[in-house]
Amino acid sequence: MRGFTLSDFETMLWAVQWTATLVIIALALGGPLGLLMAMMRTSRNPVLNGIALVILQIVQGVPLLGMLMFFYFGVPVFLGIKVPALISVSIAFTVFAAAFLGEIWRGGIQAVHTNQSEAAACLGLTRWQSFRHVIAPQAFRIALPATVGFLVQLIKNTSLASVVGFVELARAGQLASAATFAPLTSYACVSAIYFAICFPLTQWSRSLEKKLHVVR
């Protein structure tokens, strides 16, 4: 046995890079998929709308922990291939981010009054031009605070990746606790690091709500 030392805390700080990596991958891959889901959900085509709705219902109805288990333990069983932890966890978080960002952005798109698209049509803009130049900028302004709020939730949910052995911040805390038998100190440090990351983002989300007058 040994006591909790500064090196344990430094290891946790080192593990933050993998937490950040998961968040970046989820946003980089899940963002475009989320936009696609939002456009399908707001489409006039009932088939596209229905497909997107079914996908969103499935993803949002399954716990993120269940998706992590499926992509890490289930895929090797069904496909017979071993999936590295980083890839399986990244896929799970990408799907998770795409579903929730899609619904957030769908709400932003639908919050833009129909008069805006009608006015764009009167100016001779195509539907894509209308979306790109008229609808999307206003929807982005409306959905930005909620998007930042989801980012905070995404950062905290990366702690679930520890269940498949992926060494991010929460897993580093588990390893420090097991090595030092000081769970209170270890998890207090983990919580403090999460707070230091998430609190500024939470404050930024609140300031965006006031600045953009989203609450009105």
pLDDT tens digits, 96-140 = 999 999 999 999 888 888 788 778 778 777 777 888 888 888 888
pLDDT tens digits, 27-51 = 999 999 999 999 999 888 999 999 9
Residue with token string 């690091």:
193
Indicate the CATH number for domain 6-212. 1.10.3720.10
Angle, helices 183-212 vs 169-180, to 10°: value is: 160
Has residue 1 got a pLDDT over 70? no
* CA separation for the pair 59, 77 (Å, rounded): 21
Instruction: Report the candidate in 200, 192, 92, 84 with the shortest Cα–Cα distance to residue 151.
Output: 200
Distance, CA of 90 to chain centre: 11
Would you state the structure tokens that stand for residue 177, as one six-digit string?
């606790």
* Mean pLDDT over the full length of the chain: 89
pLDDT score of 215: 44
Burial of 143 (0-12, 13-18, 19+ CB in 10 A): buried
* CA separation for the pair 140, 109 (Å, rounded): 8
Q: Of 11 and 81, which is predicted with more confidence? A: 11
pLDDT score of 32: 95
pLDDT tens digits, 153-192 = 999 999 999 888 888 999 999 999 998 988 999 999 999 9
Has residue 216 got a pLDDT over 70? no
The whole-model pTM stands at 0.88
Domain ranges of the chain: 6-212
DSSP string covering the chain: -----HHHHHHHHHHHHHHHHHHHHHHHHHHHHHHHHHHHHT-S-HHHHHHHHHHHHHHHHS-HHHHHHIIIIIHHHHH--PPPHHHHHHHHHHHHHHHHHHHHHHHHHHHS-HHHHHHHHHTT--HHHHIIIIIHHHHHHHHHHHHHHHHHHHHHHGGGGGGGT--SHHHHHHHHHHHHS-HHHHHHHHHHHHHHHHHHHHHHHHHHHHHHTTT-
The number of CA neighbours under 13 Å toward the Cβ of 102 is 29
